[in-house]
Amino acid sequence: MLTFGSLFAGIGGFDLGFERAGFQCKWQVEIDDYATRVLERHWPDVHRERDIRQCGRHNLERVDCIIGGFPCQDISYAGKGAGLDGARSGLWYEFARIVCELEPRIVCVENVSALLTRGLDQVLGTLASFGFDAEWHCIPAAAVGAPHIRDRVFILAYSNGESALSQYTEMAELQTGDVGNANSPRRKTRAAKREVCGETRKQVFAARGENVSDTNGTQRQGGWLPGGTRTEHSDIGSGGWWAVEPPVGRVAHGIPARVDRLRCLGNAIVPQVAEVVARMAMDRLTGGEDV
């Protein structure tokens, strides 16, 4: 079974969509206490970490796919527009560092539609430097039948062939006895990739006002419908748009942790949209064949 790891997991909307598409969750990273309790209840047997700055290959298993919606506060038009230079949205570079360290086959990134003009070029450039091609699209929740728009950008990045090149050069080295040669093509490819990863880590630490003194990653202080049918926003039915606080007693009044629930729901990814993207990722990984 194909596996995934979830960064900025929230209450697991992204994760649920990927599981529905046939992936298996191997680990989750989430710092919020309330959201973590939700994850613990629904994924009790999954390895979990709290602070993305403390994560890397030393405590996260390699997976086929890494998914995550990094913080949007500095990207959103409702914010001050700091973009990826902001303290919260700048955590994208931690996301990128983990991608570089774990080398997944597919990466799926989510954020608000404002990313298109406030950082998409940087995100795509970073992924390209790691050897990923990418495609992206704004998919509204209305595309899967929800009675509100909720536009979100989804980026699906996949290996551009470097993995195949590495396998080829590794085989050639085995055949020629060149495995220990520091000048072999495979060694040079991996050395170049490590250099790019190191530059990304420098960006991460510089954003925190720190120096890169840690060399091993262990000390960190610091729309569409399934089947291809598209629905228009006018086709959402007669129920109207979802209100910020629905006038339903059991939802809006007298429930425990009401503020936390509303906040987490506001940050969450609609699982049905995540499932559409996950099925695209599955097709990329399997060539459209059943697994």
Report the run of H or E that residue 3 belongs to, with start and end.
strand 3-7
Task: Give a three-class secondary structure readout of 175-218.
Answer: HHCCCCCCCCHHHHHHHHHHHHHHHHHHHHHHHCCCCCCCCCCC
Per the annotation, the verdict on 72 as an active-site residue is yes
| Range among 48-52, 213-217, 219-223 with highest mean pLDDT value | 48-52
What is the pLDDT, as a whole number, of residue 232?
38
How far apart CA 111 and CA 154 sit, in angstroms, is 7
Kindly list the structural domains of the chain, giving each domain's residue range(s) and its CATH number in brackets, ordered by start.
3-160+222-243+251-286 (3.40.50.150)
Residue type, 104: P
Q: What's the predicted TM-score (pTM) here?
A: 0.72
What tokens does 118 get? Answer: 């406030």
- How many percent of the chain have pLDDT more than 90? 57
- In the prediction, which pLDDT does 80 show? 85
**Distance, CA of 247 to CA of 244 (rounded, Å):** 9
Please tell me the number of Cα atoms within 13 Å of 192 on its side-chain side.
11
Strands 132-139 and 152-159: antiparallel
d(CA 46, CA 194): 29
Contacts of 108 (CB under 8 A, 6+ apart): 14, 65, 66, 67, 68, 154, 155, 156, 157, 277, 278, 281
**What Rg do the C-alpha atoms of the chain give, in angstroms?**
20
* pLDDT for 206 beyond 90: no
Average pLDDT for 183-204 = 57
pLDDT at 159 (0 to 100)? 84
Question: What residues are paired with 139 via a beta bridge?
Answer: 152
CA atoms of 41 and 248, how far apart (whole Å): 25
Q: What is the pLDDT of residue 244?
A: 46
Are 217 and 57 in contact by the 8 Å Cβ rule? The answer is: yes
The residue written with tokens 């490819």 in the block is: 189
Which has the minimum average pLDDT: 75-79, 109-113, 247-251? 247-251
Q: Is a pLDDT exceeding 90 seen at residue 233?
A: no
Which listed residue (25, 55, 65, 72) is catalytic? 72
Residue 30 neighbours by CB under 8 Å, 6+ apart: 6, 8, 9, 10, 36, 39, 48, 50
Q: Taking 50 as the threshold, does the pLDDT of residue 276 lie above it?
A: yes
* pLDDT attached to residue 226: 40
Q: Which residues of 70-84 are buried (b: 16+ CB within 10 A; e: fewer)?
A: bbbebbbeebeebbb
Q: Cα(192)–Cα(56) distance, rounded to whole angstroms? A: 19
